[in-house]
């Protein structure tokens, strides 16, 4: 079970005597015991009574750290020039503090933590938030019909859904708001608008800041630089960040309504296949566009 370290990544080892010790070897031994890549552990401070290491990871599996104090101290005995005094121990805050638990306690703690984690995951996956984007919505120049529609739709799907507000046309602002929604425990985050080819459309770019491997299929392609188009076309996006699925839909209400069929099929309060959902939405919107062109 992966646990978020919540920025509490320091690990302190007390009760050491050091004489010409290679700190890289110390870090490598700690990484080995914790099942981490050597590059993920770094000695950041050396004091008379302890050394401090930083774990360069956002999450760890609970079994990587819980009850590992004895194994870690024993492994450090093999570092040349390092002597463990009687009563040496490992100290940390937050999740990393689990390292000091006695091994006999670990199975029960893991079982309880995994059960709690499963319940938390279930609740996160059932929480949804919807954002509108665009200055025209922000200034009340046009009515936001998308957000109420999506909130009602998701509520029928069993989500605890809410409206998150209107995002400004800015990559950084949108990305920060998406990240905040993730941190607040929303398992589904949807934005509408800002997926076009103009210089005010940034939803896909913000989405890919959180998930560089997001599925972003094209709906229509343009020649960049023609007319108002500064990008190659219109895309929708579906990304994932941890438990959270992030979806960037177009702004026109009829397109959001059309995409709802894919949301109803794929968004059920469980983990979402981002590629399958993105392809479903893209196919629906391409067909809708072809239908519009045919009638014109």
Q: Are 10 and 92 in contact (CB under 8 A)?
A: yes
What is the DSSP-derived secondary structure letter of residue 99?
G
Q: What is the pLDDT of residue 290?
A: 83
CATH number at residue 239: 3.40.980.10
Dihedral-angle region of residue 163 (phi above 0 means left; psi in -120 to 50 means alpha; beta otherwise): beta
Tell whether 6 is covered by a domain: yes
**Are 156 and 234 in the same domain?**
yes
pLDDT for the residue numbered 229: 63
Is 130 inside a domain boundary?
yes
Instruction: Give the pTM.
Output: 0.66
Polymer length in residues for the chain:
296
- Asked if 76 and 156 sit in the same domain, the reply is no
* Same structural domain, 99 and 131: no
Query: 194 with 248: CB under 8 angstroms?
Result: yes
110 plus 174 within the same structural domain: no
Count up the domains in the chain and report the number: 2
Residue 205 lies in a domain: yes
Hey, how many other C-beta atoms are within 10 angstroms of the C-beta on 169? 19
Question: Per the domain annotation, does 121 fall within a domain?
Answer: no
Query: Of 116, 149, 169, which marks where a domain is finished?
Result: 116
pLDDT the model gives residue 67 = 80
Q: What is the pLDDT of residue 5?
A: 42
Phi, psi of 49 (to 5 degrees): -110, -5
Residue-wise pLDDT tens for the chain (296 aa)?
Answer: 454 545 557 888 999 999 999 999 999 999 999 889 999 999 999 998 899 998 887 777 777 877 888 889 999 999 999 999 999 998 887 666 677 766 545 566 556 656 655 777 788 899 999 999 988 888 889 999 999 999 999 999 999 999 999 999 999 999 999 999 998 889 999 999 989 877 788 999 999 999 999 999 999 887 655 656 667 788 999 999 988 999 999 999 999 999 999 999 999 988 899 999 999 999 999 998 887 765 55
The pairing of strands 82-92 and 10-18 is antiparallel
**Domain extent for 262:** 126-295
Q: With DSSP H G I counted as helix, E B as strand and the rest as coil, what are the percentages for the chain, rounded to 5? A: 45, 25, 30
């Amino acid at each position: 079970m992966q646990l978020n370290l919540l920025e509490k990544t320091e690990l302190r080892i007390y009760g050491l005597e050091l004489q010409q010790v290679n700190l890289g070897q110390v870090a490598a031994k700690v990484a080995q015991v914790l099942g981490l890549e050597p590059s993920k552990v770094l000695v950041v401070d050396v004091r008379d009574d302890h050394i401090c290491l930083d774990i360069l990871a956002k999450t760890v599996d609970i079994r990587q750290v819980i009850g590992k104090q004895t194994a870690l101290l024993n492994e450090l005995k093999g570092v040349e020039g390092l002597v463990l005094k009687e009563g040496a121990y490992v100290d940390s805050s937050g999740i990393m503090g689990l390292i000091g638990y006695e091994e006999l306690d670990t199975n029960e703690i893991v079982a309880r933590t995994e059960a709690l984690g499963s319940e938390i995951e279930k609740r996160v996956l059932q929480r949804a938030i919807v954002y509108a984007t665009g200055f025209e919505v922000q200034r009340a120049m046009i009515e936001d019909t998308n957000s109420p529609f999506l909130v009602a739709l998701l509520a029928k799907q069993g989500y605890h859904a809410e409206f998150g507000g209107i995002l400004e046309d800015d990559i950084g602002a949108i990305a920060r708001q998406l990240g905040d929604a993730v941190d607040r425990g929303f398992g589904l985050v949807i934005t509408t608008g800002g997926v076009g080819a103009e210089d005010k459309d940034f939803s896909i770019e913000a989405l890919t800041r959180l998930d560089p491997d997001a599925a972003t299929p094209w709906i229509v392609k343009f020649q960049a630089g023609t007319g108002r188009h500064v990008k190659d076309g219109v895309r929708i996006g579906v990304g994932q960040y941890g438990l959270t699925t992030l979806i960037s839909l177009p702004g026109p209400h009829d397109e959001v309504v059309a995409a709802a069929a894919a949301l109803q099929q794929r968004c059920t309060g469980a983990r979402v296949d981002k590629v399958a959902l993105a392809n479903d939405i893209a196919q629906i919107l391409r067909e809708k566009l072809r239908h519009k062109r045919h009638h014109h």
